[in-house]
Chain A
Amino acid sequence: MDSKRRDFLKIAGLSAIAGIAVPSAFNSLLKGEALASEHGAAAAGAHGAVAPTGKRWGMVIDVKKFSANPGLAEKCVSTCHAVHNVPDFGNKKDEIKWVWVDSFNHVFPDDSSQYKKPEALDSMPILTLCNHCDNPPCVRACPTQATFKTKDGIVAMDYHRCIGCRFCMAACPYGARSFNWRDPRGKDANGQPFIKAENPKFPTRMRGVVEKCNFCTERLAIGQIPACVEAAAESKALVFGDLNDPASEVSQMLKTTFTIQRKPSAGTHPSLFYII
Chain B
Amino acid sequence: MYGKGRIIPALILFLGVMTSPMWFKSADVSKMPKPEKPKDYTECVAPVQEMRTSHMVLLNQWRDDILREGGSRIGKTANGTEYVRSLQNGCMKCHSDKKKFCDECHNYTSVKPYCWDCHLQPKEAM
Contacts and interface: CB of A to CB of B under 8 A. Distances in A.
5 contacts: A185-B117, A201-B88, A202-B88, A203-B118, A221-B73
Contact of A206 (B64, B66, B67, B117): B117
Contact of A156 (B67, B73, B117, B123): B67
Given A200-B120, A221-B66, 10 more contacts: A148-B68, A150-B68, A150-B70, A152-B70, A185-B117, A200-B88, A200-B123, A201-B88, A203-B88, A206-B118
A159 interface: yes
B60 to A, nearest CB: 8
A206 B70 CA distance: 24
Interface residues of A, number: 20
Interface string A216-227: 000001100000
Contacts, number: 37
Interface string A146-159: 00101110001011
Contacts of B114: 206
Nearest to B84: A222
Interface string B84-126: 0000110000000000000000000000001001111011000
Interface string A192-212: 000000101111111000000
A270 to B, nearest CB: 21
B118 A159 contact: yes
A231 to B, nearest CB: 22
Shortest 6 CB-CB distances between A and B: which pairs? A206-B117, A203-B118, A203-B119, A221-B73, A151-B70, A206-B118
A5 interface: no
Interface size of B as a range: 10 to 19
Nearest to A149: B68
Nearest to A55: B70
A85 to B, nearest CB: 8
Contacts of A221: 66, 73
Contacts of B63: 158, 160
A150 to B, nearest CB: 6
Nearest to A201: B89
A156 B66 CA distance: 11
Given A158-B63, A160-B63, A203 B120 contact: yes
Interface in B50-89: 63-64, 66-68, 70, 73, 88-89
B71 to A, nearest CB: 10
A152 B67 CA distance: 11
A108 B67 CA distance: 31
Interface string A84-122: 010000000000000000000000000000000000000
A39 to B, nearest CB: 31
A41 to B, nearest CB: 23
Nearest to A200: B120
Contacts of B117: 185, 206
Contacts of A205: 118
A204 B118 contact: yes
A85 B89 CA distance: 15
Contacts of A158: 63-64, 67-68
Contacts of B73: 221-222
Contacts of B68: 148, 150, 156, 158
